[in-house]
Chain A
Amino acid sequence: MAPVSAAEVAELKAAHAAQPTSDVDNTLQSLAEQLGYSIEGLRKLGADEGELVHDIELLLRASGQSREDIRAARDILMKLGYPRAITVMMGQVARKAKPAPPTFAQRLRLQSRTFKT
């Protein structure tokens, strides 16, 4: 399976941006649930392991997940027995992903430090 290209990522982002925001389904809450659901749907469509890895990587890169979230989802999927190729790929994507944005408390602390100096 060919590696995920920047064009594919851009295409999926554009498709997401074109979708209306009114019919968003919030049944799946965590990233692990969303990835698990995607994997099950892809399997039902007859995707093999290479296609699964490709599509999940594409999904992760296009959705711009933070490295902490990806690693947390990877740990859950690993314990649930999902294929090793997927969890290894998630680790690789997490290394390149952006860090999670600072929490509200961290931002407050940063602001207070800036104010003091």
Chain B
Amino acid sequence: MPSRHTHPRPLDRLTAHDSPTDYRPYARAHVTVIIGNAVRYCQEPIVVGCSAMFGMDHSGILLGMTETTVIERDKKNGRFLAGNAGNGGRRPGARNKLGEQFLEDLRDSWVEQGPRALARCAEDDPAGYCRIVASLLPKDIDINVTGSVDVGDFAQRFRAAVELLGNQPGPRVIEHGTSKRR
């Protein structure tokens, strides 16, 4: 079982059996970085900051996810090196244009063909039609008919309320007699 560390742990000491909770988001390591479609292997240990979980293959090479940010700057003037995220990148929304167009076409097609397709599906394959309807229902229906109440939770709340009233019953004790000893 991997242990949880209270101090930051270098990424290059991780093994394939470590869990993602065993490292800290910032460390120095040899990292295979994936930025978009480009895969790079950094020769020198670099400081990486990750906003996503790291994965690791069986040979122990750490694989950064696409959300990994690698800061590569010129050592002399501190500017971004060529090909880095600091050089502008794609325009916002450019990647989504194709998907948006497809969804618009799908919507137009569905408005035209959808009702007829559904009616034909219901006639030809009633079981499949029922499956479609059933798949649209919420998966997790919480029906709690047991009426169970958590005892510990209730006792805590009840005692807190009684304490607020200021008349908490004292513990039961064995009374001793008032007569004096001889």
Chain A residues close to B by CB (< 8 Å): 25, 27-30, 32-33, 36-37, 40-42, 44-46, 72, 75-76, 79-80, 103-105, 108-109
A25, A32, A44, A72, most chain B CB atoms within 10 A: A44
A105 and B151 form a contact (CB under 8 A): no
For A109, the chain B residues whose CB sits under 8 A away are: 177, 179
B162 and A76 form a contact (CB under 8 A): yes
**Quick one: which of A29, A44, A72, A104 contacts B149, CB cutoff 8 A?**
A44
**Quick one: which of B145, B155, B167 contacts A28, CB cutoff 8 A?**
B155
**Quick one: which of B155, B161, B174, B176 contacts A27, CB cutoff 8 A?**
B155
**Quick one: which of A27, A29, A30, A105 contacts B177, CB cutoff 8 A?**
A105
For B161, the chain A residues whose CB sits under 8 A away are: 80
A103 and B175 form a contact (CB under 8 A): yes
CB distance from B133 to the nearest CB of A (A): 30
For A75, the chain B residues whose CB sits under 8 A away are: 167
For B151, the chain A residues whose CB sits under 8 A away are: 25, 27-28, 37
A-B contact pairs, 18 of them (CB 8 A): A32-B162, A33-B155, A36-B154, A37-B151, A37-B154, A37-B158, A40-B154, A41-B148, A44-B147, A45-B145, A45-B147, A75-B167, A79-B165, A80-B161, A80-B165, A104-B174, A105-B176, A105-B178
**Quick one: which of B167, B175, B179 contacts A79, CB cutoff 8 A?**
B167
Cα distance, A41 to B177, chains bound together (Å):
42
Chain B residues close to A by CB (< 8 Å): 145, 147-149, 151-152, 154-155, 158-159, 161-162, 165, 167, 169, 174-179
Interface of B (DSSP majority class): loop
CB distance from B31 to the nearest CB of A (A): 52
For B179, the chain A residues whose CB sits under 8 A away are: 109
Given contacts A37-B149, A108-B177, contact A72 B154 (CB under 8 A): no
CB-CB nearest in chain B for A103: B175
CB distance from A69 to the nearest CB of B (A): 10
**Quick one: which of B147, B155, B162, B174 contacts A41, CB cutoff 8 A?**
B147
CB-CB nearest in chain B for A112: B179
CB distance from B73 to the nearest CB of A (A): 61
For A37, the chain B residues whose CB sits under 8 A away are: 149, 151, 154-155, 158
A27 and B158 form a contact (CB under 8 A): no
CB-CB nearest in chain B for A36: B158
For B152, the chain A residues whose CB sits under 8 A away are: 27
For B177, the chain A residues whose CB sits under 8 A away are: 105, 108-109
CB distance from A10 to the nearest CB of B (A): 25
Cα distance, A42 to B151, chains bound together (Å):
14
Cα distance, A41 to B178, chains bound together (Å):
44
CB distance from A87 to the nearest CB of B (A): 15
Cα distance, A80 to B166, chains bound together (Å):
11
